């Protein structure tokens, strides 16, 4: 796999662009730089949950174990990245707003999204029967995805104090900042592909071991 090699390089480039290349924000100062990580993690978490959605839909049509394994792996990484979103957002909010948390529509919908996908992971572990777990998890993932567009569109649907990065199809920041932000998006995307692949293989291995044990017990 190429991702373990490419990912560290992309992260070094992203860190350089965000810490050195991108200019310091005139209002927020150096604290604004955490937004590059924040936005990169947010965008890739949405990609991860969309992948889980599509794989879950295809699984319900084909009932192939490999699709369930990749769907679960994608949801796991997406949940980790959403945690990064919440943590970095809270750190930035403490500097910009003076509080660690406020029930702003964007923040509220994001934490609801996080709880839903955390629930997805817990739900999977609570069901012992493999086929039932896979079917129920796929249905859960399809329903949970509704929270993703709601979270991302909350800044346009309701009044919010959350900064708006893209307005009317344009980035509301200088080009150097956009470049640094996109670099972190690519870095997080590479990390996502690396982690998802590793977790999917672990899921498939666990399923194979469980099936072998079940087969041996029947002898």
- Taking only the tens place, the pLDDT of each residue in 18-46 is 999 988 877 777 878 898 999 999 999 99
pLDDT (average), residues 205-212: 80
pLDDT (average), residues 137-165: 88
Does residue 27 belong to any structural domain of this protein? no
State whether residue 166 is helix, strand or coil: strand
Give the model's pLDDT for residue 210: 73
Q: Which residue has the higher pLDDT, 173 or 66?
A: 66
Does residue 28 belong to any structural domain of this protein? no
Does residue 186 belong to any structural domain of this protein? yes
Q: Which residue has the higher pLDDT, 63 or 164?
A: 63
- Rounded CA separation 86/82 (Å): 6
Total domains in the chain come to 1
Does residue 21 belong to any structural domain of this protein? no
Does residue 167 belong to any structural domain of this protein? no
Dihedral sign (CA 24, 28, 34, 37): negative
- Taking only the tens place, the pLDDT of each residue in 39-53 is 999 999 999 999 999
Does residue 168 belong to any structural domain of this protein? no
- Taking only the tens place, the pLDDT of each residue in 102-117 is 898 999 999 999 999 9
Instruction: Tell me if 192 sits within 8 A of 76, measured CB to CB.
Output: no
Give the model's pLDDT for residue 4: 84
Give the model's pLDDT for residue 93: 87
Question: Can you list the pairs that 16-25 forms with residues at least 24 positions away whose Cβ atoms lie under 8 Å?
Answer: 17/179, 17/180, 17/183, 18/180, 18/181, 18/183, 18/184, 21/176, 21/179, 21/180, 22/176, 22/177, 22/179, 22/180, 23/174, 23/176, 23/177, 25/177
Does residue 2 belong to any structural domain of this protein? no
Instruction: Tell me if 197 sits within 8 A of 51, measured CB to CB.
Output: no
> What φ, ψ does residue 137 adopt, rounded to 5°?
-65, -40
Q: CB-based contacts of 163: which residues, under 8 Å, 6+ apart?
A: 35
Residues in the chain: 219
- Categorize the per-residue pLDDT at 12 as very low, low, confident or very high, splitting at 50, 70 and 90: very high
Give the model's pLDDT for residue 118: 97
- Categorize the per-residue pLDDT at 143 as very low, low, confident or very high, splitting at 50, 70 and 90: very high
**Of 31, 36, 39, residue with least CA distance to 18:** 36
**Of 79, 111, 76, residue with least CA distance to 93:** 111
Domain that holds residue 101: 7-16+33-161+176-217
Q: What percent of the chain has pLDDT over 70?
A: 94
According to DSSP, residue 20 is labeled I
Does residue 60 belong to any structural domain of this protein? yes
Give the model's pLDDT for residue 146: 97
């Amino acid at each position: 796999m190429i991702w373990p090699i490419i990912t560290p390089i992309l992260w070094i480039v992203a860190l350089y662009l965000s810490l050195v290349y991108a200019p310091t924000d005139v209002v927020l100062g150096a604290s604004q730089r955490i937004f590059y990580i924040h936005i990169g993690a947010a965008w890739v978490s949405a990609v991860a949950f969309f992948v889980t959605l599509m794989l879950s839909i295809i699984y319900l049509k084909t009932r192939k174990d490999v699709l369930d394994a990749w769907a679960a792996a994608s949801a796991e990484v997406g949940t980790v990245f959403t945690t990064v979103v919440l943590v970095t957002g809270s750190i930035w909010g403490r500097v910009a707003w003076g509080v660690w948390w406020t029930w702003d529509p964007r923040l509220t919908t994001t934490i609801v999204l996080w709880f839903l996908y955390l629930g997805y992971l817990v739900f999977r572990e609570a069901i012992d029967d493999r086929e039932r777990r896979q079917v129920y998890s796929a249905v859960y993932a399809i329903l949970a995805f509704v929270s993703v567009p709601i979270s991302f569109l909350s800044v346009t649907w309701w009044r919010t104090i959350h900064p708006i990065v893209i307005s009317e199809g344009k980035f509301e920041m200088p080009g150097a900042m956009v470049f640094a932000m996109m670099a972190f998006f690519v870095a997080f995307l590479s990390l996502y592909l690396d982690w998802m692949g590793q977790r999917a293989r672990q899921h498939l291995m666990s399923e194979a071991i469980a099936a072998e044990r079940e087969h041996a017990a029947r002898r």
